Amino acid sequence: MWASVGAGKGAPGREAFPPLSERGNFVGLPSSCLDAPYGEALPDFTTILQDPMAIPPPYCDLGKSARDVFNKGYGFGMVKLDLKTKSSSGVEFTTSGSSNTDTGKASGSLETKYKFKDYGLTFTQKWNTDNTLGTEVAMEDKLAEGLKLNFETMFVPNTGKKSGKLKTAYKREYLNIGCNVDIDLSGPTIHGWAVLGYEGWLAGYQMAFDTAKSKLSQNNFALGYKAADFQLHTNVNDGTEFAGSIYQKVSDKVETSVNLAWTAGSNNTRFGIASKYQLDDKASVSAKVNNASLIGLGYTQTLRPGVKLTLSALIDGKNFSSGGHKIGLGFELEA
């Protein structure tokens, strides 16, 4: 089994390693971050909550620093290219393409974004090779300081499937709350979360209510603490999955993380450790291992401003001589 934090559906944490049959690409963001559109990186909250008046992160970012040590800098079984550009008129373009080395399946996506700063509006359009079209309109800090409103639509021309989401989030000192509604003709699903923070201490709750079935489909709690160079995060998902993580910034060059998870009714504990070492301002190495003897190695090098190379490898320590190991290659270009 794999070391993970909050491995349950909608949990703030994700698996530190994927199952052996699915370990091609497990670099990504937690799917439970209800206010983050796909393809968009989440903000880094590693410096907040030092000031007791600081704004706490959204629920999905609790324990994010520990997850980043496990997830960033790896791309097992994938060859990936990311390109970011910006036109003279201010339109941002983000293009991503990848190929799975096992299946040979290629996929890609395109995103365009334009911001009307004077009105606090952001328009985003998305397309991917699954022929899914998405549109998002967001307004932030205009109706009220700290308030963000989103409306998203998604359309699949091949099937005619349509969906939409209404998202709201509000943040201020000590508090970060949000409520999202998945629009569905059979009955909307309401997602909500709240995080309280004071002097480094954090407490959060996340829920989802299925109106069609009139019952809670998600019921998660989290507690945490953050100091200058240390973070502790624990969470309980649906009363059956218990997880915790520890993050420590040992020095300016060294970061470490430990993940632990356990599911009620199972004697199998999932455990993993990871570390990142910054060689210099342009290069870093990463390593991680879990209790299933899966070893991940990563190397990231900035070749020149706007050009980054990532190499990674996944080694099955229990079956070292039988093969099945994976490598990954990634390029990030920004102009």
What are the pLDDT digits (tens) for 118-167? 889 999 999 999 999 999 999 999 999 999 999 999 999 999 889 999 99
pLDDT confidence of residue 51:
54
Write the Ramachandran bin of 275: left for phi over 0, alpha for psi from -120 to 50, otherwise beta: beta
Is the separation of the CB atoms in 135 and 152 below 8 Å? yes
Residue 231 amino acid letter: Q
**Separation CA 229–CA 179 (nearest Å):** 31
* pLDDT < 50 regions, the chain: 1-32, 34-50, 52-53
**Separation CA 330–CA 80 (nearest Å):** 5
**What residues form DSSP beta bridges with 271?**
260
Nearest C-alpha neighbor of 233 from the set 204, 267, 262, 253 = 204
For 93-121, letters b (16+ CB in 10 Å) and e give ebebbbbebeeeeeeebbbebebeeeebe
CATH architecture of 20-334: Beta Barrel (2.40)
Is the separation of the CB atoms in 122 and 140 below 8 Å? yes
Q: What residue spans define the domains of the chain?
A: 20-334
pLDDT confidence of residue 33:
54
Whole-number Cα distances in Å, 241 to 71, 114, 204, 217, 257: 21, 40, 16, 14, 20
- pTM for the whole thing? 0.79
Residue 53 amino acid letter: M
Is the separation of the CB atoms in 241 and 7 below 8 Å? yes
